[in-house]
Amino acid sequence: MILLAIESSCDDTGAAVFRDGELVSNVVQSQLIHTAYGGVVPEVASRQHLKAILPVVQEALHQANARPKDLTAIAATRGPGLMGALMVGYGFGKALAASLEIPLINVDHMKAHILAHFIEDPKPAFPFICLTVSGGHTQLVRVNSPSDFELLGSTIDDAAGEAFDKTGKLLDLPYPAGPHIDRLGRQGSAQYSFSKAQVDGLDFSFSGFKTSVLYFLQKRRSEDADFVKKNLEDLCASIQDNIVSVLLAKLKTAAEASGLTRLAVAGGVSANSHLRSELKKMAEANGFETFIPKLAYCTDNAAMIGMAGYFKWLDGDTAPLDQAPDPRLRYATS
Ligand code: KG4
Ligand code: ZN
């Protein structure tokens, strides 16, 4: 069974090939052009996907030593994401599937982030709790099987990645600021604390936190114009520590409420080194078993789309060819 997977939901064009459920190639082309705009510009992203999609797919096939006519099925991201960006990858996958007369499999990007845990060992046993933290989403999910997901909580405003990117922008860091905050924060100490929204249950809120950082910086900058420059490492360490402590507190609550001790983290923010080390500490203190995918499978990639697609293929769950991408794809509607 040879599966080609395509990802184009935001600003990374990805293609991967799986042979009998094993990943054999994984190619990602990231769109660095958005740094110049301080954020992802949807129209620019669509055009970049259009340029990259064929070379990226060809490279993934080449590395897997496979030709289009060898393919058994094609999996592509249907949503959530940017409509124009999704249309490029999903439309490409659909057209290739139609021309090769093979099945198309539609993949939910958020479920794929979670199923990235099954690309390589160690794989969590079902059921487990997954904290999915990316640039667009923050979700706590109970995962009962590769096709049974229960959304326990999500952000009511900004996503965790956005909290990193928007507060990083206030520090004049380039977009996306998450990796810069991580790198700089490692050299600082978390001595500043900002207001953390108290949200009931397992939902999250980060917009108040961002505003609190904004007011704090305005005040300190009015006293000393170089405040940020002089204290950049400590500010990054503090921002990072504030976000990570909120995420892990909710993850712990979800574990305790469900009685599950297997905890997984997925999505771009799970690349964060402070999150990784704090999660490890929390696991050791509470007897949790934790799972974090390899860095390359945390940020957007097509390997996770292929993994999710392979599970759907095993279930015979293929997509009609008259379906459009869904930028607001939700668990209940996918
Ligand atoms: O999952 P992802 O690659 O794309 C989306 O689906 O959104 O996540 C991108 C997000 C960005 O907000 C980026 O700043 C954040 O992940 N990110 C990080 C780190 N690496 C990526 N945030 C904190 N620390 C990192 N090391
Ligand atoms: Zn993502």
Quick: pLDDT tens for 136-177.
889 999 999 999 999 999 999 999 999 999 999 999 999 999
Q: How confident is the model at residue 332 (pLDDT cuts 50, 70, 90)?
A: low
Per-residue three-class SS string for 5-63:
EEECCCCEEEEEEEECCEEEEEEEEECHHHHHHCCCCHHHHHHHHHHHHHHHHHHHHHH
SS3 210: helix
Residues lining ligand 2 (ion), CB within 5 A?
Answer: 134, 300
pLDDT for residue 333: 39
The pLDDT value given to residue 148: 96
148-154/262-266 β-pairing: unpaired
Q: State in Å: Cα 95 to ligand 2 middle.
A: 24
Q: Is the CB of 268 under 6 A from ligand 1?
A: yes
> Which of 240-244, 257-261, 318-322, 326-330 has the lowest average pLDDT?
326-330
- In sequence order, the β-bridge partners of residue 91 are none
Is the Cβ atom of 135 under 6 angstroms away from ligand 1?
A: yes
Query: What residues have CB less than 8 Å from 214, skipping those under 6 apart?
Result: 170
**Per-residue pLDDT averaged across 66-94, rounded?**
98
Look at strands 12-19 and 104-108 and give their pairing.
unpaired
Band of pLDDT at residue 195, cut at 50, 70 and 90: confident
Which ligand 1 atom minimizes the distance to the CA of 298?
1
Q: In the numeric block, which tokens belong to residue 29?
A: 């082309």
Distance of CA 250 from the midpoint of ligand 2 (Å):
20
Cβ(77) – ligand 1 distance below 6 Å: no
CA dist., res. 26 & res. 57, Å (int): 10
Q: How far is the CA of 272 from the centre of ligand 1 (A)?
A: 8
Query: Is the shortest distance between the CB of 29 and ligand 1 below 6 Å?
Result: no
Q: What is the pLDDT of residue 38?
A: 83
Handedness of CA 49, 52, 58, 61 (dihedral sign): negative
Ligand 1 binding pocket includes 272 (Cβ within 6 Å): yes
The reported pTM is 0.94
Q: In angstroms, how far is CA 4 from the centroid of its own chain?
A: 20
The answer to whether residue 228 scores a pLDDT higher than 50 is yes
Q: Using 50, 70 and 90 to split pLDDT, how confident is the model at 71?
A: very high
Q: Please write the tens of the pLDDT for every residue from 237-294.
A: 999 999 999 999 999 999 999 999 999 999 999 999 999 999 999 999 999 999 999 9
For CA atoms 115, 118, 120, 124, the dihedral sign is positive
State the distance from the centre of ligand 1 to the C-alpha of 267, rounded, in angstroms: 7
CA atoms within 13 A on the CB side of 23: 23
Atom of ligand 1 nearest to the CA of 177: 14
Looking at residue 94, its pLDDT comes to: 98
